[in-house]
Chains A and B, each alone.
Chain A
Amino acid sequence: MSPDFLSGIRFTDLTWAGAGPFGTKVFSDFGAEVLKIESMSRPDPVRRGGPFKDGVAGTNRSGYFASRNTGKRSISLDLKNPEGREIALRLIAQSDVVSNNFGPGAMERLGLTYDEVRAVKPDIIYLSMPMYGEDGPLSTLLGVGMTIAAVTGLMWMTGYGRGEKPLGPGTHYPDHAANPYHAAFAVLAALRYRRHTGRGMKIDLSQVESTANFVGASILEASVHDREPEHTGNRSRRDAPHNVFRCAGEDAWCAIAVESDTEWLALAATIGRQDLAARPELRKAAGRLAATEELEAAVTAWTRAHGAVEAGTILQNAGVPAARVSSARDLVEEDTQLAARGYWQTLEHPEMGPSLFTAPPFTIDGERVELRRPPLFGEHTQEVLTGLLGMSDAEIAELAERKILA
């Protein structure tokens, strides 16, 4: 389906890089008109970051950009130019939401603060998402997703346990779920609030405060007990065996997670260790936890003789939570579940040709949301300035001549 659920909602979207655009993409995918304001005077870093089609860099060739900007319309506009700012304000006057993920002070420098914007659109919903909030002693600290993971304890807790040093997530994890999706949820809530009250609002999303909720239970544990929560890596605090096990083949792994007495007995039977199943002290989780090393060795002896997919399938069929640890290649090329549910979408793109996209991770009324391709840089400038602002071709050409639309 090509949903019209949010049709009639318009964004003037100043977000860039990862977290901001990933959040506003929700709206364009559901039929809202998201006007992405871009300028080559300060290009969106993900247009410059890879991967690129065939490894060849280019403004319109980045897969990272493509995956964050489906269905949007790109307006090239230099906001640092006073006339550029005026045009932005005219777009904002006809928008429902203004979004940015700049650092503190940037919107002031552009002359686009909440108050300035509210002057042209009194019920505007104004989303800001700086890393650490807009004020305070560390508000000007520069950050990326991993910095946010660092200061929230998420990085510290990501490790193999055993009292080892932290490793941290392998991605800029907070950029890819916590912050974009908290932001989208907040804007949707603000839209309903405005519908019933007539009032807009400012949403000040500190990406650190947002991400702290993703480790909220651990923070609460530290708060209640006034101590550092134990982190156990792939192991569990409640049961064993519970780990990632090496399988036959190169860099092949299977996750196995026993979480009940029944699952333990099923696992022991499947790996042919009735002797372990028969041991009374292993019938309960506490006994299994005490024997973690021994049980993991027994499981490894079995997994090393099986491929990762095979091991996962055998154990799932026996009622044990298990799964191959999949790489991106495995997901795309070999995952039968994702394929069966129609998760992958291939979109035609003028410069990238056919490229692969992940569908939003759900179906609605049994159907997938069909994505629309991401915009080329400035692709919709002319159309929007004409259609929305009623500018003539001559006016637009003149602005372009003076590099205001660049």
Chain B
Amino acid sequence: MTPGFRPYTGIRVLDLTHNLARYATRLFADLGAEVIRVEPPGGLPDRARDTADVPGGPETFAFHNASKQSVVLELGGNEGRAAFADLVRGAQVVFLERGGPLGANDIPWLRDLNRTATITHVSPYGLGGPMQDAPASDLTLQSAGGIAWMTGRGDEPPLRLPGGQSAMVVSVYAAVATAVCLFDAETRGRGHILDVSAQEAIAHSLQNAIQVWDLERRISHRAGEGTRDASENIYECRDGHVFLASPPTTGVSWKGLLGWMAEVGHPSLAPFSEPQWLDRKYRSKPEARAAFKPLFEAFTRNFTRQELVENALKRRIVMAPVSRVHDVLGDPQLAHRQYFVRLGEGGPRFPGAPYKMSEPVWGVSPPPALGQHDAPAARG
């Protein structure tokens, strides 16, 4: 076996992503691929966008670009194009994103340079169709993909998920599809062209909403109709909030909950013992949700988050604290598993691997400065 071999050792990814697909290439970089951001002299667009002028800008840049390298090439000029062509000939993957220095029109040129590379193009709506060139953003993609419709309060606007989720979703789909194509290229010598749509990726991740419409002609709605059991909600407690999920189909959890109420003699036990709370259909209705919340909150208000979690563990109830983001850094379970890593020596605590592997193959390093790896000796 090769010493120090990592899953993507020997794989070069030329990375022209700048927004939606950056996390896809980072996943390869953390597992040993040589991921090279190929940047124009002023940098790819995210260098001007994710700056300290905007709260969270530098952290967004660092998170999405960690472990990568950076070279500067002017792809508009002959010299830069020739240097890029050399890189393409030695690459296994080229990652393009709409709005970057190269676009869909350049794919035939890239294919001519390298017949076996996987060329992945990520865009808001995919190539072809009436929306191919439509302007887009995280908010509009979460709306066009159907996820925003399902979140929020019924009497208020649909709501997007936080933290740029359109990029996260399309990135993991793009990374997996690219890895599958790469596997085929190494097995059979076939190169592939992938055209990944962020809208489609989001529409692919709507739980069972598409089937709810197709099979039962109901629309999963943010008010809860068709999407949630009445219990699935956030409840106030003495020092914060907890989340509960206790549909009667997970019998143990629901019985455990009622048993606990009986033990402490809580008045909510009597109404929760009514037969309608064993009826799945009733429990998926908005009125059931509305009735559930005050009854259960009357119970949780007597406890702290810690007490509720201890009981959830003991009684096998599906209930968890609703952590603020800063709380996550102090999560005892994550601490026990030594989840957080440091970004560079003395650097800040940084989210750890999304998967722990029994072989020591995952690692993360700080994002590159513009052109940090211009000299070939700086690469590899």
Contact = CB atoms under 8 A, between A and B. Distances in A.
B309 A177 contact: no
A315 B130 CA distance: 14
Chain A CB count within 10 A is highest, among B56, B169, B187, for B56
B328 A219 contact: yes
B112 to A, nearest CB: 15
Interface string A227-249: 11111011011100011111000
Q: Top 6 closest A-B pairs, CB basis?
A: A63-B211, A361-B200, A181-B172, A189-B7, A340-B129, A170-B150
Contacts of B205: 173, 176-177
A221 B329 CA distance: 11
A155 B9 contact: no
Contacts of B227: 170-171
Given A48-B249, A329-B219, A355-B214, A158 B151 contact: yes
Interface in B300-319: 309, 312-313, 316-319
A63 B212 contact: yes
B328 A222 contact: yes
Contacts of A141: 309, 312-313, 320
Given A66-B211, A156-B325, A185-B172, A224 B348 contact: yes
Interface string B140-154: 111111111111110
A343 B354 contact: no
Interface string B1-36: 110011111100000000000000001000100000
A321 B137 contact: yes
Contacts, number: 500
Interface in A21-54: 26, 30, 45, 48-54
B158 A253 contact: yes
B228 interface: yes
Interface stretch (B80-88, B191-199, B270-278): B191-199
B164 interface: yes
A327 B146 contact: yes
Given A151-B328, A221-B59, A50 B176 contact: no
14 contacts: A55-B216, A135-B337, A136-B336, A138-B332, A178-B172, A186-B355, A217-B60, A219-B328, A224-B58, A321-B136, A337-B129, A341-B128, A359-B200, A363-B126
Contacts of A159: 159
Main secondary structure of the interface of A (DSSP, over half): mixed
Contacts of B54: 237-238
B160 A52 contact: no
B296 interface: no
Nearest to A188: B179
Contacts of A158: 151, 159, 161-162
B215 interface: yes
A181 B139 contact: no
Contacts of B327: 153
Contact of A214 (B156, B163, B174, B211): B163
B143 A326 contact: yes
A205 B355 CA distance: 4
Contacts of A203: 355-358
Given A255-B148, A340-B129, A26 B176 contact: yes
B243 A155 contact: yes
**Tier of interface size on chain A:** 35 or more
Contacts of B175: 181, 185
Given A186-B355, A222-B325, A328 B320 contact: no
Contacts of A167: 151-153, 159, 234
A209 B354 contact: yes
B38 interface: no
Contacts of B186: 192, 195
B282 interface: no
A126 to B, nearest CB: 8
B63 interface: yes
A163 B47 CA distance: 30
Contacts of A26: 176, 180
A109 to B, nearest CB: 15
A199 B128 CA distance: 42
A177 B211 contact: no
Contact of A152 (B7, B197, B323): B323
B322 A67 contact: no
Contact of A319 (B135, B329, B331): B135
A196 interface: yes
A343 B203 contact: yes
Contacts of A64: 207-208, 211
A135 B336 contact: yes
A59 interface: no
B356 A204 contact: yes
Contacts of A359: 200
A49 B245 CA distance: 15
A54 to B, nearest CB: 7
